[in-house]
Structure 1
Amino acid sequence: MPRSKSAAAPDRLGSTNSSPAPARRRIRGLDADERSAQRRRQLLAAATELFARQSYSGTSIEQICQHAYVGTKGFYDHFESKEACYTALLEQITQQIQQRVADAAVEHAEAEWPQRLRAILAAFVHAIADDPRLAKVTFGEAGGISPAVEAQRRSNRRWSADFLDHQWRQGDSTPDPRSLALALATIGGMFELIADWLHHHDDGGQPDSVETLVGDLTNFAEVVEAGRTARAKQ
């Protein structure tokens, strides 16, 4: 039976003739996916700057786009709303903080608990306070924005409480089944100290140093630890 005229004729190597795939267009050395990733980074960097400077509620999508030199369409290619952009920013900052805290815990794993605790808290504080914008974005206004943002905040606190509880259990001969709830309450107290430190700066008060904040958090954690130890001996 003769072959259909529409069938592609095989070449000498037995494969069918076909046009080579078009080369992906590169602009300034970046292909489409790389340019998209770059725009997303620019948008998140702009959001960090503007949310920290003029608050979430005082920032519009148009301002973020202008600051990032990205069109509005480019914004909606990545985020369906300002809230989604803010949530993505919180997730990015959270991942950076968690990584630094986890690295500090590994680095000081052989140290006694008081030294390990201070190293972990120092890593945490420096992760958010070395760049003051990060502290403002994560602790300045996150509460009350929306249920989705609140869910992200609660998830962050839960991770921190799980992490602290794990550190406690490493030194407990008889783990307390209620320690996770205590860890969650402890994290809440720590986060309140950070928020107060941040607002004290914003209100024009005499700025406390980052090391002062580390000391305050360590002191608070040590008081909690003393209570845990005393209860365990009862």
Structure 2
Amino acid sequence: MTRSKSAARPDAATVRRRIRGLDAEQRSAQRRSQLLDAATELFAEQSYSGTSIEQICQRAYVGTKGFYDHFESKEACYIALLEQITVQIQQRVMAGAAAVEGQEWPQRAHAVIEAFVHAIADDPRLAKVTFGEAGGISTTVDKQRRSNRRWSAAFLDQQWSGTGDRAGIALALATIGGMFELVVDWLHHHDDGGAPDAVATLAEDLNRFVDAVYVGRAAIAAK
């Protein structure tokens, strides 16, 4: 049985749509991923303010037009990257909490903090991108950061078996602020980033701080 030419091989339009086995949508997703990977490297190496769109494109091997197909500005690229990293951190922390579900908070705390520390320090670039420039980029970025803190505070309050009321969330929010400040300070004093002893130092500092807050919270509740 013979096949017609049209059945034997794809038409020219199909060939044009697929390059290296990828269709247009897949190629677009690949370029976006390359741009975000390049931005991660450059923001970690030389900061957000020290990085240009042209440098991101050169590192990603993507043209400037390709950049603007995905992001309207460097700020938009940073926000997309921040959102991506935030989701990764949240997933790691929730998985850490789920692994010790049912235990009392003092026992769960170390597992949750360990998950958070490894989420940002196993690849030290992530901590630098997320916490390295704590503020001053733009009001839009600051709004995103505050949204991340609100999520973290609600999660912490829930782990503390809080009621979700204003006082509980406020205490959790202050605790998260303290934790994030410790991360920023750690970044400025540990250039070795992901080295085991540096990671252990961060985990120890965060555990000590959260334990102290929890003891104070319990003392207030007992009055």
> What's the TM-score, normalizing by structure 2?
0.89
1:125 and 2:117 correspond? yes
1:87 and 2:79 correspond? yes
Distance 1:129 1:203 in 2: 10
Distance 2:151 2:182 in 1: 18
Distance 2:71 2:165 in 1: 43
Give 1:91's aligned amino acid: E
Distance 1:175 1:85 in 2: 33
1:179 and 2:171 correspond? no
| Residue number among 51, 55, 59 corresponding to 1:67 in the alignment | 59
Give 2:58's aligned amino acid: Q
SS at match of 1:70: coil
SS at match of 1:57: coil
Equivalent runs, 1:1-234 vs 2, <5 Å = 23=14, 25-169=17-161, 177-202=166-191, 209-234=198-223
- Partner residue in 1 for 2:8: none
Distance 2:76 2:38 in 1: 14
Moved over 4 A (4+): 174-177
- Give the superposition deviation at 1:175: 7.4
- Partner residue in 1 for 2:4: none
Distance 2:119 2:108 in 1: 17
Distance 2:166 2:178 in 1: 20
- Give the superposition deviation at 1:177: 4.9
Cα RMSD (Å) of the superposition? 2.2
Higher alpha-carbon Rg: 1
Deviations 1:68-108 (A, max 9, x none): 00000000000000000001000000000000001111111
SS at match of 1:29: coil
Structure 1 residue ranges without an equivalent (≥5): 1-19
- Give the superposition deviation at 1:23: 3.1
**Matched pairs, number:** 211
> What's the TM-score, normalizing by structure 1?
0.85
Distance 1:26 1:187 in 2: 47
- Give the superposition deviation at 1:190: 0.4
Distance 2:218 2:80 in 1: 39
Task: Indicate how the Cα distance of structure 1 residues 191 and 30 shifts in structure 2: closer, same or farther if over 3 A, else same.
Answer: same
Q: More helix by proportion, 1 or 2?
A: 2
Distance 1:147 1:175 in 2: 27
- Give the superposition deviation at 1:202: 4.0
